[in-house]
Amino acid sequence: MEHSVDSFLQFWALHGAVLGIMRNDSLLYVKGFGKADESAPMTPGTCMRMASVSKLVTAVGIMKLQEEGKLYLDSPVFGPCGVLPGYDSLIRDNRFYEITVEHLLRHQAGFTVVGGDPMFSPHTSADEVIRRQLSRRLAFDPGTWQQYSNVGFVLLSRVIEAVSGEPYGEYMQKAVLEPAGCFQFRLGGTYLSDRLPGEARYYMQPDSETVPSFDGRYLSVEKCYGGNDISGLSGAGAWTASVPELMRLVASIDGYGPVEDILTEFSVNQMTTFFDKDTFGLGWNDCTPEGEWTRTGSFSGTSALVKVYPDGESWVFISNSSAWRGSRFTKNISALFKQLRRNYSSLLPSRDLFTYNPEA
């Protein structure tokens, strides 16, 4: 398996990555490949940005608040009875008052992305992006279509704060991550100076995007964000963690044992029910009728994929590098998973690395 993954990294010119495999809530395999930065190897414990995989974390927070009876998926977001009434003075389109929490989760609120994703506008804060978005007309009636929106999940982060009465990160740590046994999750920052303890450095291929002049094969992405505020993405894309910790969270929301779920069976079913091929799951990108769940994440310097398969296996791959295919690169990671599952699933050991003690 190692040779196949090494070849994959070499073919796509990835600086480093971690692959983890879980079966029936048991962590069977996790290994780092390549480098975390110029001087350190990638290890299973290396923390990395997970980009939009963060949306899965946020969705779990929303489901916890629903279980606590503090909001419901059909709760209105704006208006005098909405969860976020403080934005009403900005709204010029009355259809905003039809937007529900579920519309935000399913990317069905109707936000326009004309001119590109507003969350990646240079030198623009999250507050400014929200103000601009709410002052525009919606692109479609809420609930009638879907358009992927980072702004929607930034608003969901604000919803969690408003309903819980706590900062987003603090509520998520207390109500979601710590109960799941996850203690490495941190909200990341934009530049190298914001680098967290144990966090990788990030790289992009110079031909993957328009970038300034560079030296060497890779460009450190902190030089080319153009002022984009990664921390401002909040629950839309700012979480960092190691692959084993992310897999521990997945084990806690999959509806199976032996790892105890932090959500009820009803909540898990709500998050993963298939409606049609054009409807996002709640936090998941895609949930098939056969029971396969997918969550992707991608921006400059990060490529991430989480797959849960009907046979009980879960696979996670996170790289600290961009590929020239951008967000489409996750399809190539998925193809790698398919190949490795075919060739190596039957050879995986049965031990559980979540609880394994080599000295016992």
With a pLDDT cut of 70, the percent of the chain lying above it is 91
Q: What is the pLDDT of residue 56?
A: 98
CA dihedral 83, 280, 152, 234 (to 10 degrees): 100
**Residue indicated by tokens 């450190």:** 220
Q: What is the pLDDT of residue 216?
A: 36
Q: How confident is the model at residue 191 (pLDDT cuts 50, 70, 90)?
A: confident
Using H for helix, E for strand and C for coil, what is the string for 71-99? CCCCCECCCCCCCCHHHHHHCCCHHHHHC
Q: How confident is the model at residue 211 (pLDDT cuts 50, 70, 90)?
A: very low
106, β-bridge pairs:
none
Its pTM stands at 0.92
Domains of the chain plus CATH, in order, are 2-53+183-347 (3.40.710.10), 63-170 (no CATH)
21-38 mean pLDDT: 96
Q: What is the pLDDT of residue 228?
A: 56
Q: How confident is the model at residue 356 (pLDDT cuts 50, 70, 90)?
A: low
Contact call for residues 300 and 76 (beta carbons, < 8 A): no
